[in-house]
Amino acid sequence: MNSTKSLPLAGIGVFSNTTCPTEKKISVFFSVIFMTVGILSNSLAIAILMKAYQRFRQKSKASFLLFASGLVITDLLGHLITGTIAVFVYASDKDWIRFNQSNVLCSVFGMCMVFFGLCPLFLGSVMAVERCIGVTKPIFHSTKMTSRHVKLMLTMVCLFAIFIALLPILRLRAYQIQASRTWCFYRTEHFEDWEDRFYLLLFSCLGLLALAISFVCNAVTGITLLRVKFKSQHRQGRSHHFEMIIQLLAIMCVSCICWSPFLGLAGAF
């Protein structure tokens, strides 16, 4: 395991095709179910968001809906791409030696795991920042936060996540098959040098930073809205802000529950 060429077999060792047919069918079945549920729920969310965007196209809510649409589309693609690869791996009895001799599939799988892991976290934090600005600086938001700026920010977020996912490949470092033989990620054991640890630490820090930004911005937005609600008798114009902050809090809670343990573990390697 002292050279990059040996990495395609890393995590396999002496494992062989020992998965029984029943276990294989169950694994494939649940992978397909989870992927299908994710695709259907995100497709429904996209349809609802597109309809809402047409309704609020000229209002302050339009920028939030654009960000939300980007988040849902990213999550949909994540379920579709990583789910398809996972089903293929399970259906092939996790025999990486047979279908991953050139390490292409593992590299693609690893890049997808990094990209679709970080991109939704980044988008969630950007959405929280956008709402914070919309509530605390409404004039600035209404004049500067145009749909063109939103689309530019979405593009920049996606490009940055792609860069992080491509970083090991650009540095001629291969993604590694993990011990369960079901997925690929950065090297998590038998580190060769500081760079192997750096990728894990970078992934962990960026993810935790995105969650921290979401928490701070959502807290500021919520406190501001509550102060306005208690001080002003004209509350009707703020109802959509409360609706969006509740949605952001739900996104943040789900992200924290799903990602905090993994991000903390990745940073501890």
Give residue-wise pLDDT tens across range 131-148.
899 888 888 888 878 888
Q: Is the pLDDT of residue 1 over 60?
A: no
Selected from 1.20.1070.10, 3.90.79.10, 1.10.287.610, 3.40.1800.10, the CATH number assigned to the domain covering 7-268 reads: 1.20.1070.10
Q: Which DSSP letter does residue 176 get?
A: E
- Res 102: pLDDT: 82
Token pair for 13: 């060792």
Mean pLDDT of 29-54: 77
pLDDT tens for 234-250 read 555 556 667 777 877 88
Q: Tell me the pLDDT band of 174, cut-offs 50, 70 and 90.
A: confident
- Res 181: pLDDT: 87
Q: How far apart are CA 55 and CA 201, in angstroms?
A: 43
Mean pLDDT of 104-121: 94
**Residue 263 or residue 197, greater confidence:** 197
**Residue 209 or residue 68, greater confidence:** 209
Mean pLDDT of 170-179: 88
In sequence order, which ranges of 92-193 are alpha helices (DSSP H)?
96-99, 104-136, 138-144, 147-170
Q: How far apart are CA 123 and CA 209, in angstroms?
A: 12
Q: Tell me the pLDDT band of 267, cut-offs 50, 70 and 90.
A: low
Mean pLDDT of 206-235: 84
% of the chain surpassing 90 pLDDT: 30
Mean pLDDT of 150-172: 93
Angle (nearest 5°) at CA 166 between 165 and 171 = 125
> Which pairs from 187-196 meet CB under 8 Å and 24+ separation?
187/7, 187/10, 188/266, 188/269, 189/269, 190/1, 190/10, 192/1, 192/2, 195/171
Q: Tell me the pLDDT band of 74, cut-offs 50, 70 and 90.
A: very high
Q: Considering the entire predicted model, what is its pTM?
A: 0.81
